């Protein structure tokens, strides 16, 4: 899709590569912390902790897709959410959701903002091309897929798998669409969520204090 092509999303906002470039380069200095990881790895938990402890607001691309599903009267099943994502990618280009998220950070004049739900190399390219070194990508992972499945089931959300077999099918479908694990290799930092929630929080604090993850 030509970067000049525009359209409108479900909120009536215009979408186009040029809009994000304009907003980011309009004199509003900002930093973006993006979090990538497989389903159930703890992406939102990383950003919720950064918000609670370091006052870093964030935008979830997953919430964007779920809002579209609600506006269209669709149940937020993983199949429906994947269908919506693919439809928007075809119409507006891959990376359209992170473009909208970056625009929201810019429009709110956040000095630092987080984006949860980065998945593909297209997402990363959009943010690196436009924010440059002010975009930091953090990969959060859980080594054992059975642990990730159990944690997803404990959330009791309708979109999450009821069986391990369904979990594996969903994982495979997501990977075929987004190539999440390959994209995660380009992360600036990686943190493990294999342990407790306190362990994850300590890993995040380590990124901030020892590795200069920007929070202000």
Does residue 206 carry a pLDDT above 50? yes
pLDDT confidence of residue 189: 96
Instruction: Read off the pLDDT of each residue in 200-205 and give the average, rounded to a whole number.
Output: 97
Which tens digits make up the pLDDT trace of 23-72?
A: 444 445 789 999 999 999 999 999 999 999 999 999 999 899 999 999 99
Summarize pLDDT for 119-130 with one digit per residue, the tens.
Answer: 999 999 999 998
Share of the chain above pLDDT 90, in %: 67
| Predicted confidence (pLDDT) per residue in 130-187, tens digit | 899 999 999 999 999 999 999 999 988 877 889 999 999 999 988 998 999 999 999 9
Task: Give the mean model confidence (pLDDT) for residues 92-98.
Answer: 91
For the chain, which domains are there? 7-210 (3.40.50.300)
Residue 2 has pLDDT above 90, yes or no: no
User: For the whole model, what pTM was predicted?
Assistant: 0.82
Asked if residue 9 has pLDDT above 60, the reply is: no
Q: Please, is 114 exposed, middle or buried when counting C-beta atoms within 10 Å of its C-beta (0-12, 13-18, 19+)?
A: buried
Nearest to 117 by CA among 41, 196, 211: 41
Provide the β-strand partners of residue 115.
34, 59
Judged against a pLDDT cut of 70, whether residue 20 lies above it is answered with: no
Tell me, what's the pLDDT at 1? 37
Tokens of 8: 């409108």
Q: What is the pLDDT of residue 28?
A: 59
Please report, for residues 40, 149, 175, the alpha-carbon distance to residue 154 in angstroms, rounded to integers and kept in the order given. 10, 9, 22
């Amino acid at each position: 899709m030509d970067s000049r092509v525009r359209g409108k999303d479900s909120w009536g906002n215009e979408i186009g590569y040029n809009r994000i470039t304009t907003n980011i380069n309009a004199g509003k200095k900002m930093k973006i912390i993006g979090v990538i990881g497989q389903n159930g790895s703890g992406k939102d938990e990383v950003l919720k902790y950064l918000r609670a402890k370091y006052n870093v607001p964030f935008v979830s691309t997953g919430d964007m897709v779920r809002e579209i599903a609600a506006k269209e009267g669709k149940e937020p099943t993983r199949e429906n959410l994947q269908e919506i994502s693919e439809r928007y990618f075809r119409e507006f280009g891959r990376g359209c959701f992170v473009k909208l998220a970056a625009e929201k950070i810019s429009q709110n004049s956040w000095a630092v903002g987080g984006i949860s739900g980065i998945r593909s190399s297209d997402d990363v390219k959009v943010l690196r091309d436009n924010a440059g070194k002010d975009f930091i990508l953090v990969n959060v992972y859980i080594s054992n897929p059975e642990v990730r499945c159990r944690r997803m089931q404990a959330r009791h959300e309708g979109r999450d798998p009821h069986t391990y077999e369904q979990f594996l099918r969903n994982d495979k479908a997501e990977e075929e669409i987004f190539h999440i694990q390959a994209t995660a290799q380009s992360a600036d930092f990686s943190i493990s969520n294999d342990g407790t929630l306190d362990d994850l929080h300590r890993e995040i604090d380590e990124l901030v204090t020892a590795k200069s993850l920007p929070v202000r």
